[in-house]
Amino acid sequence: MARKRRLFGISWLKGWPVLGVILLGAMAGVALFAGGVTLMHKTSDSEFCVSCHSMQRPLAEYQGSIHFQNPAGIRAECADCHVPPQPVDYLLTKAGALKDVVGEIGGKINSEEKYNAHKLEMAESVWKTMKANDSATCRSCHSFDAMDTLAQRPEARQAHPVAMRDGQNCIDCHRGVAHILPDMSDSNASGAAQLLAAAAHTSDKATRLYAVATQPFRLAPESAAPDGTLFPSTEITVLRRDGEQLQARLDGWRQQDVPGAIYAAPGKRIMSAVLDDAAAKQVVVNGGQTDGETGQRWDRVSLTLWLPTRILIDDRQKIWQYAAGLMSANCTGCHGLTALDHFTANQWIGVMKGMAPRTSLNEEQLRLLTQYAQKHASDSINPQGSEQ
């Protein structure tokens, strides 16, 4: 019996080192895990995020937003918008943030000039991520199911049911909610270049075309000076082609006693073309109607003209896609994306002129965007764009 106790004791004592190693390993694992969680948490709070000098500009923008101060007293911290809550996405985001550390060490945005130079690049990176994850950080606080749309502002009350129905992404409409939008000039110009490139590949068999940009036209191909100007998105019907030029017919409406302009619809200031005196005399009247509200007489007219083929495209949806991108990129800094049918065609003119100084749009882009809004306005013939 004594021998058994001795053997049992020796065996039990020999097991202690193994148990000790396991216990120490477990304690180290718990400590490492707790330390990692603490590190992740501390490097995600807003105090840490804005501790670098280069973050003072975005901090000031954030402090001026509704996410920082609002009537409800609910504040969205940096991580609430920039770090997805899902475990895998969370870890990938934290790992990807190492590039920001490298950038800070290298002084990538340590001055006002450098910050402005890289702001669009940084913003587009965030927008791309939010687009890919269906705005997961937004949805961690905002839920369509919890929204009382009837209590929202008129614009939101109209837009959110559409977003719910179509499965839209939050970032499609809300880009400047916490930071001032960057200068979108380069992005706007890139879209215009892509549209012109698409026009260059338009089939020479197409008979119904649309102008992708404002373009002077001539009554005869050999004319030295233009006889008027065609506006972007205007539809023309091809009559014949001659190399890089084509003869086309422009159909539209002209207000009586205003010979120098052709509009897309009666009673609506949707400009299709402006004409000089010679072109105005060539306009053919094909009937008309009187506006019941204003008593104004509108004539249905047509004009034969010559245009270069390089500015014409056979798919107007490509023009609208570019215009929709302009609106999304330039018009969401102060509010969400306004529904196109929120205003009438004529009201959109004043809205666009009033908002233009707050955007990066040039005159040509503003003209196209106005056409886009007007032709999808509440009183347009086909407000949903079904005619396209």
CATH code assigned at 88: 1.10.3820
Helices (H) and strands (E) in the chain, counts: 15, 10
Considering the domain architecture, whether residues 169 and 83 belong to the same structural domain is answered as yes
pLDDT for res 383: 39
Check: CB of residue 183 under 8 Å from CB of residue 176.
no
Structure letter (DSSP) for residue 310: G
**Domain boundary pick from 294, 309, 324:** 309
pLDDT digits (tens, 9 = 90+) for 134-174: 999 999 889 888 998 888 877 777 778 878 888 888 887 78
To the question of whether residue 331 is assigned a binding role by annotation, the answer is yes
Pair (163, 269) in one structural domain: no
Q: Which domain holds residue 295?
A: 206-309
171 shares its domain with 293: no
Does residue 250 lie within any of the structural domains?
Answer: yes
Same domain flag for 93 and 142: yes
Both tokens of 286, joined, read 């094909």
Q: Is 160 annotated as a binding residue?
A: no
Q: Tell me, yes or no, whether 81 lies in a domain.
A: yes
**335 among the known binding-site residues?**
yes
Domain endpoint, select from 275, 309, 343: 309
- Indicate whether 157 and 214 sit together in one domain: no
202-217 burial by CB neighbour count: b if 16+ within 10 A, else e? beeeeeebbbbbbbeb
Residue 351 lies in a domain: no
Give me the chain's average pLDDT, please: 85
What six digits make up the tokens of 236? Answer: 């023309």
Q: Are residues 173 and 221 in the same domain?
A: no
Residue 53 labeled ligand binder = yes
Confidence label for 262 from pLDDT (cuts 50, 70 and 90): very high
CA torsion, ordered 256, 257, 261, 265, to nearest 10 deg: -20
Q: Tell me, yes or no, whether 55 lies in a domain.
A: yes
Whether 107 is covered by a domain: the verdict is yes
Helices (H), the chain: 2-42, 46-49, 56-63, 78-82, 87-96, 98-106, 112-132, 136-139, 154-166, 170-173, 185-199, 277-281, 316-330, 345-355, 363-374
168 and 82, same domain (yes or no): yes
- pLDDT-derived band of residue 313, with 50, 70 and 90 as boundaries? very high
Number of domains in the chain: 2
If asked whether residues 178 and 224 sit together in one domain, one would say no
Q: Is 376 annotated as a binding residue?
A: no
Residue 172 and residue 127 in contact, taking contact as beta carbons nearer than 8 Å: no
Would you say 200 and 340 are in contact if contact means Cβ atoms under 8 Å apart? no
201 marked as binding residue: no
The reply to whether 118 sits in an annotated binding site is no
Percent of the chain with pLDDT over 70: 91
Same-domain pairing of 164 and 112: yes
**Co-location of 63 and 152 in the same domain:** yes
Boundary of a domain, candidates 309, 338, 356: 309
Spell out the residues 6+ positions from residue 231 whose beta carbon is closer than 8 angstroms to its own: 211, 214, 271, 272, 273, 274, 367, 371
